Structure 1
Amino acid sequence: MTIREQLFALQDLGYQKFSSALIPNIDASTIIGVRVPLLRTLAKDIAKGEPLHFLQTAEDTYFEELLLQGMVIGYIKASPQEKLPLIAQFIPKIDNWSVCDSFCSGLKFTKSNQALVWDFLQPYFKSKEAYDIRFAVVMLLNYYVDEQYLQKTLQLLDDVSHEDYYVKMAVAWAVSICYIKMPQETMPYLQNNNLDLFTYNKAHQKITESLRIDKETKTMIRAMRRK
C-alpha cells in the first residue's frame, strides 16, 4: 500500500467533518480525516524505515500528507545539523495553523539544542510569510519560556509586525504562555509593550482562560484590557 492508501484506510468521516470546521482557510476536500494518534503511529513507523526517501518523494495534496511529513521530521533519529535543513525545507509547505503547531510540538530536540535552534529561528521572524512567522512564534512558546530566554522571547514577540490573523493569534498565545509560566517576570511586559490592540487583548483573554490562573489574578488581568 502507498502512504496515501494507508491514510485513506484510516479515514474517519466524522473526524474529517470536525477537522474541516477547525481549519477554515484550507479546502475541506483536501482533508482525509485521520485522527492524530494514528498519524503519529504511522510517522514513527516511517521514521524507523527510510524517512529521507519518504520526505524526498512525499506528496502534498492532502492535509494529512503534510502533517505526516512534519511528524516524521520530528521522529527522525539524526543530529541537529542534519535535522535543521529538513525543517527549513518543510517550513515553506506550511499553509495552516494545525500543520504549523503540530510540527513545532514534535521538534523536541530543541530542548537540548536551544542556542542552535534559536539562531536558526531568527530569520523567520523577519519573513513576510505569515506561516514562517507563526512557526517561529510557536517554537518560542514551546521551547523558550524559561529564565534564560524569557526576556529575549518577549522582545521578539514585541517586534512581530504582520497583519495576518494567525500570526496575531500566535503572538497572543505566546505572550499568555509567558505570563502563565512566569507571571512575575512577564508582568512588566504586559504593562509596557508595543502589541496592537487585538493582539494585546487576545493575550489577556487567553491568560484569563487558563485553569492555572486564580480568580483574583483573572480579575486583575481583565482590568488591564485596552479599549
Structure 2
Amino acid sequence: MESIFYPALAELADSGYADFQSKLIPTVDREAILGVRVPLLRALANSLYREHPEECRAFLQQCPHVYLEENGLHALLVCEMQDMEEVLAATERFLPFISDWATCDIFSPKVFAKYPALLLQQIPVWIKSEHTYTVRFGVGMLMQHFLGAGFRPEYLDWAAGVKHGDYYVRMMVAWYFATALAKQQEASLPYIEERRLEPWTHNRAIQKAIESRRIAPELKDYLRGLKV
C-alpha cells in the first residue's frame, strides 16, 4: 500500500539513480527503490514536518513502508522531532523495520546531542539486539556522539564486544574503530595492536583508517604492519 507521501516522492524519483542505488543496497529489491537523492529527501522531510504535521504523524504510524525512500523519509522526519522521549519512542518503533544500511545511516535524530545521558542508556540495548540494523544504528550512535568530549574508554569495549555475523554490523564496528583511531588514538590503538577484534573487522578497521584523511601518514604506515 502506497503511503500518503508517495506522490511527493514519486515526483522526485529518478529511475537511473534508482538503478545505481540498487547496486549499492542489495538488501532492497529494485522494485522498491524510486531513486530519490538524499538532499531532496531531506528537503522534503523538512518542509513536510513544518507544513503538514498531522500528515507526518499519520505517516509515522504506517510501518512497514513499501519503498526505500518512504523509510528514508520516515527516518528524516523523526530526525526533525525535538522532544527526546518522543524521539526515543519513535526510534524504538521504527528500528525493527529498517532493512538496509542507507536508511540506517541517515537516521540520526538531532535531539540526541542534547541528551547524551539518555542516549547512553539506550545504546547498550541496541547493540545487543538480534536485528542487524538496530545493532548498526547503536554502534553508529556511539561513534557519532561519544568519540569526542563525552568519550570514555569503556565505550571501546562496548563496540569491540559486539558479536554479530552480519556484514553491515561488522563493517560499522570497523568504521567505529577507524574513527576512534582518528579521534581517540591513545585509547583505541591498543585494540588494534593487541588484535582484540575478530580478524575480518580488525583488517577492515585498519583499511578504513588508512583511507582516512584524519590519520597521520606515520600512523598509517604503522597500521599496515598490524594487519592479520
TM class by shorter-chain length?
Answer: over 0.9
Which residue is 2:61 aligned to? 56
Per-residue CA deviation, residues 49-97 of structure 1 (Å, 9 max, x unaligned), is 3132221246600000000000000012x32112110110010011111
Give 1:140 deviation, angstroms: 1.0
Secondary structure of the residue aligned to 1:128 is: coil
Alignment CA distance shift 1:197-1:59 (3 Å) = closer
Which residue is 1:101 aligned to? 105
* Matched residue type, 1:195: L
Which deviates further from its counterpart, 66-75 or 217-226?
A: 217-226
- For structure 1, list consecutive stretches of 5 or more residues without a partner in the other structure: none
Alignment partners' CA distance in 1, 2:150 and 2:191: 16
- Answer yes or no: is 1:116 the counterpart of 2:121: no
TM-score (norm 1): 0.93
Alignment CA distance shift 1:58-1:94 (3 Å) = closer
Which residue is 2:33 aligned to? 31
2:79 pairs, out of 64, 74, 84, with 74
Alignment partners' CA distance in 2, 1:185 and 1:135: 23
Which residue is 1:163 aligned to? 165
Which residue is 2:132 aligned to? 130
- Answer yes or no: is 1:83 the counterpart of 2:87: yes
- For structure 2, list consecutive stretches of 5 or more residues without a partner in the other structure: none
Which residue is 2:142 aligned to? 140
Give 1:190 deviation, angstroms: 2.2
Please provide the CA RMSD for this pair.
1.6
TM-score (norm 2): 0.92
Contact 1:40–1:68 (8 Å) recurs in 2: yes
Runs (4+) off by over 4 Å: none
How many residues are matched? 223
Which residue is 2:185 aligned to? 183
Give 1:131 deviation, angstroms: 1.4
Contact 2:123–2:139 (8 Å) recurs in 1: no
* Matched residue type, 1:137: V
Which deviates further from its counterpart, 55-64 or 162-171?
A: 55-64
